[in-house]
């Protein structure tokens, strides 16, 4: 479950919308195989800082539903997963900058920073849950 810290932060910043009916983002999440009752699903169904994403930690976290609706999210995801030899459980969350990008794994529900190194593809950093990642990303710890 998303922590009250995350939801309160988003509400304070006018970025939480739990009264949207019908929620087009829920439909998109279902289309791309995300459980809308998961922390990941709830966040992406109800949160949006600005069109396209969120900004903190000197990088943009994509609003993947907006990216799906207004860009090539599925194609980007397919290419990145193939290039990094990732399973279909991985969802890209950010630009691939500095030889790395953030990914959500829907099976483990963790977030990983994955990138290239001289020795190949490696996991650089990870968070045990999507909520833990959000608390880190929004500086709520």
Q: What's the pLDDT at 97? A: 83
Alpha-carbon distance of 76 to 132, in angstroms, equals 25
Q: What's the pLDDT at 119? A: 84
CA angle 93, 55, 83 (to 5 degrees): 25
Alpha-carbon distance of 91 to 105, in angstroms, equals 6
CB 93 within 8 A of CB 87: no
Over residues 8-65, the pLDDT tens digits come to 999 999 999 876 555 889 999 999 999 999 999 999 999 999 888 899 988 899 999 9
Alpha-carbon distance of 116 to 20, in angstroms, equals 39
Q: What's the pLDDT at 22? A: 55
Q: What's the pLDDT at 58? A: 83
The architecture CATH gives domain 4-137: 3-Layer(aba) Sandwich (3.40)
Q: What's the pLDDT at 141? A: 87
pLDDT band at 137, cuts 50/70/90? very high
What predicted TM-score, i.e. pTM, was given to this entire model?
Answer: 0.93
Residue 84 has pLDDT above 80, yes or no: yes
Over residues 97-128, the pLDDT tens digits come to 888 999 999 999 999 999 988 888 999 999 99
């Amino acid at each position: 479950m998303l922590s009250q810290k995350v939801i309160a932060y988003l509400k304070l910043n006018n970025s939480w919308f739990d009264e949207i009916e019908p929620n087009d983002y829920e439909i998109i999440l279902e289309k791309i195989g995300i459980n809308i009752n998961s922390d990941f699903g709830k966040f992406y169904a109800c949160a949006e800082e600005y069109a396209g994403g969120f900004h903190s930690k000197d990088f943009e976290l994509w609003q993947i539903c907006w990216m799906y609706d207004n860009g090539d999210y599925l194609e980007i995801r397919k290419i990145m997963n193939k290039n990094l030899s990732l399973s279909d459980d991985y969802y890209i969350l950010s630009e691939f900058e500095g030889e790395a990008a953030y990914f959500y794994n829907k099976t483990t529900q963790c977030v990983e920073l994955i990138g290239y190194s001289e020795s190949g593809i490696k996991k650089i950093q990870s968070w045990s849950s999507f909520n833990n990642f959000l608390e880190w990303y929004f500086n709520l710890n």
